[in-house]
Amino acid sequence: MVSDSSCDFRGEDRQLKVGTQVKAFWCKNGFYYQGEGVITQLNRDNVTVQLQKRVAWSDDYKIGRSINLPRVTDSIRWNSRNCVRLLEKVPAFG
């Protein structure tokens, strides 16, 4: 899958490995969050990220908390606001 902004999400997904530093994006209760973390588990349809920094404006998402997110192969749950991206691929403003 390549987005309108020419991001190769499938290619990026193939580069995910346990121990890789990533940026996680997710939604809960109508709020969108993003945080940096390390991949601790990788399955066919999902990835578990352990946060390495506290997420701004949230008491729930502190250092060490694990977030389970869909991989691009999960076409029902995955979207650009509910995913994992490689740090070097995420634009500075995103």
pLDDT, tens only, 35-77 = 999 999 999 999 999 999 999 888 899 999 999 999 999 999 9
- Give me the pLDDT at residue 94, please: 47
Token digits of residue 58: 């949230």
> Can you give the residue ranges of every domain in the chain?
9-88
CATH classification number, 9-88, choose in 1.20.1540, 2.20.28, 2.30.30, 3.30.300: 2.30.30
- How many angstroms separate the CA atoms of 16 and 48, rounded? 11
**pTM, to two decimals:** 0.87
Nearest in space to 1 (alpha carbons), one of 67, 83, 69, 94? 83
- How many angstroms separate the CA atoms of 94 and 47, rounded? 20
8 A C-beta contact, residue 10 and residue 25: no
Confidence label for 89 from pLDDT (cuts 50, 70 and 90): confident
